[in-house]
Amino acid sequence: MGLTVRVLGPVEIAGDDGPLPVRRLLERGLLVRLALAGGTGVADERLAADLWEGEHSGVARLRVVVSRLRRSLGGSADAVVRVPGGYRLDADVVDLRAAEAAAARVRADPEAARDAAAESLAAWRGDALSDLRSLPFARREGERLDAWRAELTAARLRADLDLGAGPGIVTELARLAAEAPLDEAVRGMLATALYRAGRQADALAELAALRRDLARELGVDPTAETAELEVRLLRQDPALRPISRAVERGAGVEVRSGGMVGREPELRVLADRLDAARSGEVGVVLVEGPPGIGRTRLLEALGELAAARGFAVRWGRATEGAPAFWPWRQALRHDAGPLAPSEVPVPTAAPDDRFGLFETVVAHLEGVAGDGLVLLLDDLHRADVGSVLLLAHLAGGAGRAPLLVAAGLRPDGLDPDRAQARTELLRRPRTTRIGLGGLSPDAVGALLALVRGEPGDPEVAASVAARTGGNPLFVRELAAAATVPPTAAPAALPTAIRDAVRTRLDALGPRGASVLAAAAVLGEEVDAELVADVLAQPVEDVLDRLDEAVAAGLLGDSDGVRFAQEIVREAVASDVGSGARARLHLRAAEHLERTGTRVPEIAHHRLAAVPLGDRARAVRAAVAAAELAVRQFAFEDAVRLYDRAVGTGAALDTATRAELLLGRAHAQHLDHDVAGAMRSGAEAGALAEQLADPVLLARAAILLPDVADANWLTTSSRWCRAALGTLPGEDGALRARLLAQLAVASVWADDRVGPDPVDVVGSTALAMAERVGDTPALLTALRARQLARSGPDGNHDRLAVADRMLALTREVGDPAELWGRLWRFDALVQLGRVDEAEEELDRLEPVVARLRRPLARWHLVRNRGLLLAARGRFPEARAAADEAVRVAARGNHRAAEYPAHTLRLSIALLTGDPVDPAVFEVERYQPPPRLLSMMAAEWHAAHGDLDEARRLHARLPRPETVPLKPFMVLPFHASGGALAAAVGDAQGIDHAYAQLLPYGDLHVTAGAGAGLTGGSVRLVLGTLAAAQGRTDVAVDHLRAAVAVNEAAGLRPWAVRARIALARQLGDADAAATAAAEATALGMPTGLRH
């Protein structure tokens, strides 16, 4: 077999007897350079230039490297052959040749091209020549091979697209487009794939973004091909859709329209989704469109098709004022599952464990899917936000079951919460969107003929299409009302439809019209007893009137009596005056209060009746419904109910308004709207101050015990002091909680003189909490103790506090274990016991999975990212940091955004990634020190821009004057010292060295929420000693840093220490070896410190 080389990944060299130990960078580089020449000779000068770019002494050194290489090759040494003026290598680059052979077949038909490209790509084991890229030739050759790999990937995806793929390749195309944002072909493929995934808006947005990128970067417009694709997407060109696999197979799948007109393409999509579900692919279809467009009818057609194919079909419909998850409860009402139709909250879940409920529901659905299950959820725009988020959760999962959930939704007029939930649903990989538009004139003509039972006139069809926008319901209404002559005046559409509905309503007579009007105001589903009571009519008479409305086609009775179309209900209700409407709602609320416990509906009607009725009862009903919504995990609904209660008018007394605001803040906090919770809490506290009510003020102060926002803590501290000064002085649970919160809040106090209040007040709170046996106070007091000992000399104390918190897990559950594990992680990282710290995260993983809280997830991914970066796994670290930033930003949680951006910036310091300008904005909302600005300045210094580093350094306060919190001591002085060394700030260098020297055996990280790790403190001490001109001291520190970082498995920091040590020792070979390892890790080698 001879000598073989593999270059499509880290270099591998083998002889007849197996792998060969060619370990030195230059020897490996020389061998690969010769191997890539394909058996031809390479001149000495060329080899020297490729190995030592710009060094005239390279030719003289070349023979030394050749000699070493031959010794390393052992029995294969003869493969390196001296030729006139150069060298030749007899070796085979096996993976590259295999990839080239397969790639030669890529230009075949699509199926063969796809297979050939995939075969060629399979030869890659990672980035080509990844361990040699510090050498000039390897960097160039590696970049060329990277480009070729991208071309092969694009060719395979193009073949997939030609073969009908779409949704399945969106993710891969998006990644390729991110790597080559100006490649029109790739981004055009991505737009096509998005369109095939039912995401037309995203497809058009992708091309619009491409247009902007080309104009900004190159100053050009897209090509004609891209412009044509954009037009085809806008027109929904049928040729862009993939050929149905069922048709290609000749499977004989028949899709009947069931009397529907003009919806054949949508029915084919639904049939494909059924095929996918049959094969075990869980799917979600969102059918969207305006009222009357045919959402419900299309869902009915899907149900008919699914039933014909042997699927079980279940329906659920959303209704205003219904309990949380009502459409799901209806669909699953025959199952004793987690959403069985009951207003009793799930007994085994914590109040904020909604995501755990979602997992349980998904598992239940997959378990009951059997041979095939289709759920049809209609009118999802009326549902609670939790119902939509549950659907998004299902669409984002990875399970397999013969399950399809299709939902109808009216996208216009959604409130912000529902709009955001819809966006989350559309982003999920398993969601297919079907957007229903108006029918074409031909389809309108066919529908007119169907309704009227006679051939249609094309001119009439064109007139009706223009007048109705092709809305099928409007067409049917006009046809039924016989108002479609070709000369009909083009009246405004809403008036035309109202007139059409009025015409049919008049046929019911005054009594029938009044029954239907009351029903329309009260809701889409018609409760005959409720309508009868509200109108003071016999139930028998109401039932007769409803039967007449069903016969007239205004109501349907296939699944309970309800309006045939939402727009019909709206048209009927629009004729009811505001006074009459309020009286109907009030009577409905009174009826429900007498006859049952339908809490959400009572609240809906009470609030809709305002200003009629008792406002206080309306508020109480809203609070009861909001509290029920919280217990049922419908946090957004709870917030909305509190909002409506607060908005009932100025008649609310101050105490009631404050109570409502406290309730809203609690719901907002559970909904991960931290900023909203703080605003509501602040308003409640201000009202409590007006009332001079110490108990109410205390409740506001302790409302958000785990929020670390500095502004909130400052306000909370002031309220704690005020309440403590007024409440009785004896022991009690409320006093213990106030003391504990005051201790935590004092962490950001600016006037800290004398004894540390975090420590002193926290100790008092801890003792009182233990005396009175109040667990919430104990939890907060332990948090205060952890903060009090968060300095670098408090690690072992923090481990003890963490163990105390863990001991509360039996009583408190997962929240106690969450904090205990996090505190142990922080302390262990600072002690350099990194493997033990990682074990804490492993133990934390199932806790976070059970909690399903965004903040818990934020803690886990942020700390995972810290360790991933410290171990040199930068792509994964970046992904973790990005997720942490997203989670924090979603809750507008400034205190969480700060450490997330700190992690991202610490990665940039190692990799050379650009600094996110957002760090300066985030820092504006945090108290000193300006760590992010300091790190940004350090980044500029490390990557060659000393002018910008000096400019930022000059804007920072002198480090000697900054009052530091204990947990910030090591990261502040480490970053400040490195910056001072880079810009030549002698005073700053001396100050940082003196502050860090006592902690040389620790690692650089914060003591409360680690945020980042800079490896051993010895590395910074060595850098500072070198800047002071004390080379011997620097060498001692740096040797220790190398040993400590290597022992901890922190490769990037070990490499940084070796580079610094080699510079101090003047060891060029050691520096080159360390630089090569840095390059292999993805770190720049030209760092200045």
Of residues 372 and 349, more confidence is placed in: 372
Report CA torsion sign: 872, 876, 882, 887: negative
Alpha helices in 104-223 (DSSP H): 110-121, 136-162, 170-179, 184-196, 200-217
The rounded distance, in Å, linking the Cα atoms of 301 and 305 is: 6
pLDDT, mean of residues 332-337: 69
* pLDDT over threshold 80, residue 171: no
Which range among 10-24, 279-293, 645-659, 682-696 has the greatest average pLDDT? 682-696
Tokens of 432: 């297919």
Q: pLDDT band at residue 757, thresholds of 50, 70 and 90?
A: confident
356: enclosing H helix or E strand: helix 354-368
Which pLDDT score is estimated for 166?
Answer: 65
If you ran DSSP here, which 8-state letter would residue 222 be given? P
Which pLDDT score is estimated for 373?
Answer: 93
Q: Which of 155-164, 247-256, 702-711, 1048-1057 has the lowest mean pLDDT?
A: 247-256
Residue where the block lists tokens 């963490």? 802
Which pLDDT score is estimated for 262?
Answer: 80
* Short-list 426, 305, 429, CA closest to 372: 305
Which pLDDT score is estimated for 353?
Answer: 63
* Short-list 701, 697, 728, 723, CA closest to 712: 701
The rounded distance, in Å, linking the Cα atoms of 344 and 324 is: 11
The rounded distance, in Å, linking the Cα atoms of 528 and 542 is: 6
* pLDDT over threshold 60, residue 179: yes
* Short-list 255, 335, 327, CA closest to 298: 255
pLDDT, mean of residues 80-87: 88
Angle at 752 between CA 747 and CA 754, to 5 degrees: 125
pLDDT, mean of residues 612-621: 92
SS3 272: helix
Which pLDDT score is estimated for 1089?
Answer: 46
The rounded distance, in Å, linking the Cα atoms of 377 and 317 is: 5
Residue where the block lists tokens 């697209």? 161
Tokens of 149: 């790999």
How many other CB atoms sit within 10 Å of the CB of residue 883? Answer: 18
Domain 789-1081 class in CATH: mainly alpha
Which pLDDT score is estimated for 828?
Answer: 97
Which pLDDT score is estimated for 753?
Answer: 54
pLDDT, mean of residues 518-545: 91
Residue where the block lists tokens 């003509």? 445
The rounded distance, in Å, linking the Cα atoms of 784 and 736 is: 12
Of residues 164 and 189, more confidence is placed in: 189
Q: pLDDT band at residue 487, thresholds of 50, 70 and 90?
A: very low
Cβ neighbours for 265, distance < 8 A, ≥ 6 positions apart:
238, 241
The rounded distance, in Å, linking the Cα atoms of 1022 and 993 is: 9
Cβ neighbours for 83, distance < 8 A, ≥ 6 positions apart:
41
The rounded distance, in Å, linking the Cα atoms of 16 and 911 is: 39
pLDDT, mean of residues 327-353: 60
Question: What residue ranges do the domains of the chain occupy?
Answer: 1-164, 178-236, 263-435, 438-482, 789-1081
Which pLDDT score is estimated for 489?
Answer: 37
SS3 93: strand
Residue where the block lists tokens 């050929």? 243
pLDDT, mean of residues 124-145: 85
The burial of 56, by beta-carbon neighbours within 10 Å (0-12 exposed, 13-18 middle, 19 or more buried), is given as: exposed
* pLDDT over threshold 70, residue 150: yes
Which pLDDT score is estimated for 972?
Answer: 96
If you ran DSSP here, which 8-state letter would residue 79 be given? G
Q: Measure Cα distances from 852 to 164, 329, 351, 390, 897 in Å.
A: 37, 22, 12, 13, 19
- Mean pLDDT across the chain, nearest whole number? 85
Tokens of 495: 């008036």
Phi, psi of 533 (to 5 degrees): -65, -40
Which pLDDT score is estimated for 265?
Answer: 85
Of residues 134 and 1065, more confidence is placed in: 1065
* pLDDT over threshold 70, residue 891: no
Q: What is the pLDDT of residues 32-65, one digit of tens each?
A: 999 988 888 888 888 888 888 655 456 777 888 8
Phi, psi of 1003 (to 5 degrees): -110, 150
Provide the CATH topology of domain 263-435. Rossmann fold (3.40.50)
CB 444 within 8 A of CB 475: yes
Which pLDDT score is estimated for 531?
Answer: 94
Q: What is the pLDDT of residues 770-818, one digit of tens each?
A: 999 999 999 999 999 999 999 999 999 999 999 999 999 999 999 999 9
Which pLDDT score is estimated for 484?
Answer: 47
Q: What is the pLDDT of residues 857-876, one digit of tens each?
A: 999 999 999 999 999 999 99
The rounded distance, in Å, linking the Cα atoms of 859 and 1009 is: 8
Residue type, 970: L
Which pLDDT score is estimated for 618?
Answer: 93
Pairing assessment for the beta strands 312-317 and 431-435 based on DSSP bridges: unpaired
* pLDDT over threshold 90, residue 1087: no
Q: Measure Cα distances from 624 to 367, 469, 618 in Å.
A: 34, 44, 10
Q: Which of 125-139, 586-600, 1036-1050 has the lowest mean pLDDT?
A: 125-139
Which pLDDT score is estimated for 872?
Answer: 92
Q: What is the pLDDT of residues 347-358, one digit of tens each?
A: 344 444 677 788
* pLDDT over threshold 90, residue 581: yes
Q: Which of 564-573, 830-839, 926-935 has the lowest mean pLDDT?
A: 564-573
Which CATH code is given to the segment(s) 1-164?
Answer: 1.10.10.10
Chain-centroid distance of CA 86 in Å reads 56
Which pLDDT score is estimated for 521?
Answer: 92
Which pLDDT score is estimated for 445?
Answer: 81
The rounded distance, in Å, linking the Cα atoms of 713 and 926 is: 12
Q: What is the pLDDT of residues 836-856, one digit of tens each?
A: 999 999 999 999 988 878 888
Cβ neighbours for 555, distance < 8 A, ≥ 6 positions apart:
516, 526, 546, 549, 561, 562, 563, 564
Which pLDDT score is estimated for 242?
Answer: 59
* pLDDT over threshold 50, residue 537: yes
Which pLDDT score is estimated for 543?
Answer: 93
* pLDDT over threshold 70, residue 345: no
Q: Measure Cα distances from 928 to 749, 968, 979 in Å.
A: 11, 10, 17
pLDDT, mean of residues 734-744: 95
Q: What is the pLDDT of residues 379-410, one digit of tens each?
A: 999 899 999 999 999 998 878 899 999 999 98
Q: What is the largest CA-CA distance in the chain?
A: 113
Which pLDDT score is estimated for 116?
Answer: 80
Q: pLDDT band at residue 255, thresholds of 50, 70 and 90?
A: very low
Which pLDDT score is estimated for 569?
Answer: 82
The rounded distance, in Å, linking the Cα atoms of 872 and 130 is: 14
Which pLDDT score is estimated for 168?
Answer: 65
Residue where the block lists tokens 């003869």? 78
Q: What is the pLDDT of residues 970-995, one digit of tens each?
A: 999 999 999 999 999 999 999 999 99
pLDDT, mean of residues 339-367: 65
If you ran DSSP here, which 8-state letter would residue 558 be given? B
